[in-house]
Amino acid sequence: MNFSQMDKKPDNIDSNGIDLHCHSVFSDGLLSPARLVDLAAANGISTLAITDHDTMAGVNEARQYGRARGILVVPGIEFSVCHNETNIHLLGYGLDASNANLKKLLAAIQVARVARNERIIEKLNVLGYKISIEQLPDTGCGQLGRPHIASLLVDKKIVHSEDEAFRRFLRRGAAAYVPRDIVAAHTAMDIITAAGGLAVLAHPGILGFSEARIDNLINGLYELGLHGIEVYHPANNKKMCLLLADICCAKKLLRTGGSDFHGRSRDKSSLGEYGGGRRIPSEIKTILKKL
């Protein structure tokens, strides 16, 4: 995707902060896109990507507001996908939200998301917790998921915190867990690319894999057309960051990074950082030259 004149890149793209992974109220974040832009400005971030799960509905608001604040907003998205029976996340950057195949995929994912929410609620009802879909918090943004169910469980005083809700009911293996209908990695990557975007492997460190298994995973995705790796993320420790940076160098893949900020107590980092107060390196702004 080519940025319009109003979205032109800063003259010196290495002069200010960057964060290429955050979530708004349009998925499982707590802040509006405009509020994220405000926070980015307050945190010295000049380039921000809104990467909501399975939707780009908040991108236009962020871009329009970003123009007024002098913040370059990169259109983004985060997909849950499966590759060789491994569930991973893919980030897409610079996509054209009007692409027909992208819109078709997102519509199908939203139908599956609603069905999953209903099945989770049914399981909670069977467990004796009488809640309903209609009681879920109204975000005004249409897309609901497990964090919203967790919030409802807190409001109903069934649990004390969202962490407890996930631990007891919503995480994999818990009493009310329902698996997602997962898109194949090659399908998501093909659609990201066809929509003019770049496909990036999100937070490999969260998988808990050995170095050899990480390398094998990336090799497989590379063959499918992977463009980059999220090297800087709170789930990637120092050793993992170095490994991923080396892989990017060897394969000429783009390095990206983000806080994975949701505005929730469960966050591991502030906007513009990737854990432990570490600022996301401005060097990753080289991705802007590819968009």
Could you read off the pLDDT of 195-207 as tens digits, one per residue? 999 999 999 999 9
| 180 has pLDDT over 90 | no
Domain that holds residue 247: 16-104+181-290
Q: Report the DSSP beta bridge partners of residue 47.
A: 18, 72
pLDDT band at 208 (very low <50, low <70, confident <90, very high): very high
What mean pLDDT is predicted for residues 225-240?
A: 97
Round the average pLDDT of the chain to a whole number and report it: 92
* DSSP line for 148-217: HHHHHHHHTTSSSSHHHHIIIIISTTSTT-----PEEHHHHHHHHHHTT-EEEE--GGGG---HHHHHHH
pLDDT at 11: 44
- Gyration radius from the chain CA atoms: 19
pLDDT band at 124 (very low <50, low <70, confident <90, very high): very high
Same domain (yes/no): 192, 267: yes
Structure tokens at 158: 């069934």
Predicted TM-score (pTM) of this structure: 0.88
pLDDT at 10: 45
Tell me which H or E stretch contains 232.
strand 228-232
> What's the CATH number where 84 sits?
3.20.20.140
Q: Residue 74 and residue 96: Cα distance in Å, rounded?
A: 11
Same domain (yes/no): 92, 194: yes
Same domain (yes/no): 195, 281: yes
pLDDT at 154: 93
Phi, psi of 119 (to 5 degrees): -70, -35
* Cα 4 → chain centroid: 24
Could you read off the pLDDT of 60-87 as tens digits, one per residue? 999 999 999 999 999 999 999 999 999 9
